[in-house]
A and B are shown apart, each in its own frame.
Chain A
Amino acid sequence: AQSVTQLDSHVSVSEGTPVLLRCNYSSSYSPSLFWYVQHPNKGLQLLLKYTSAATLVKGINGFEAEFKKSETSFHLTKPSAHMSDAAEYFCVVSDPAGGYSTLTFGKGTMLLVSP
């Protein structure tokens, strides 16, 4: 069975400061991992994904995440927050064997950015 834990339900930062959103996973296999972002009243947009290639994954809007197998983590970072980054962020784990296994979503982290 697979699971994902987002360690913070809310993260508050000031504009221009670094962002760290934490995610730990549990999987019986070498997982594929994703980060999605959801802006208010919008759908989910893929930020980045890890699929057993480079462990440091770069995504859109300056975000990146590092897959650390020893720590079972896939934390999302950004060097400098922008007001437009304020949104809900979801960490997602997937069984890499393909087929029709299910994605498992974390409970989300709300990123708040103050001026």
Chain B
Amino acid sequence: DTAVSQTPKYLVTQMGNDKSIKCEQNLGHDTMYWYKQDSKKFLKIMFSYNNKELIINETVPNRFSPKSPDKAHLNLHINSLELGDSAVYFCASSFGGQGGRNTIYFGEGSWLTVV
């Protein structure tokens, strides 16, 4: 029973395409996140949603649009993909925000390669 599941795990696509990554959590958490891990393994938050409301929106190109239909789902849609978008994208969830004692649970990642 996967707590945070995201699909697809691997995605290879051409520049200019539009793609989506889906994420679902069955932990009953109220906050979900998208993180990006670059080629040097550095992790940085992109977005955070609490109860379907956008809380954190880091300096991410507006080609990236998160959508949260309910608090158990947070999908990431990317328009006009560029080579620099190649990375691993992690979905995560927690109770409450990122600060303090809240443990964040991560999905297994989606490896996006733009060619």
Q: Give A62-106 interface residues, CB cut-off 8 Å to B.
A: 88, 90, 94-103, 105
User: Taking the nearest CB of chain B, how far is it from the CB of A22, in angstroms?
Assistant: 17
Is B97's CB under 8 angstroms from A101's CB?
yes
Which residues of B in the span 95-112 have a Cβ within 8 Å of any Cβ on A?
A: 96-109, 111
Question: Which size class do B's interface residues fall under?
Answer: 20 to 34
Task: Find out whether the CB atom of B107 lies under 8 angstroms from the CB atom of A108.
Answer: no
Count: A-B pairs, CB below 8 Å = 76
Q: Are B56 and A102 in contact (CB under 8 A)?
A: yes
Q: Which of A36, A44, A90, A95 contacts B99, CB < 8 Å?
A: A95
Return the chain A residue nearest B111 by Cβ: A41
CB distance from A88 to the nearest CB of B (A): 6
Q: Can you sample 30 A-B contacts with CB below 8 Å?
A: A32-B99, A32-B100, A32-B101, A41-B108, A41-B109, A41-B111, A42-B109, A43-B107, A44-B43, A44-B106, A46-B104, A49-B101, A51-B100, A88-B41, A94-B99, A94-B100, A95-B100, A96-B99, A96-B100, A97-B99, A97-B100, A98-B99, A99-B96, A99-B100, A100-B56, A100-B97, A103-B45, A103-B98, A108-B41, A108-B42
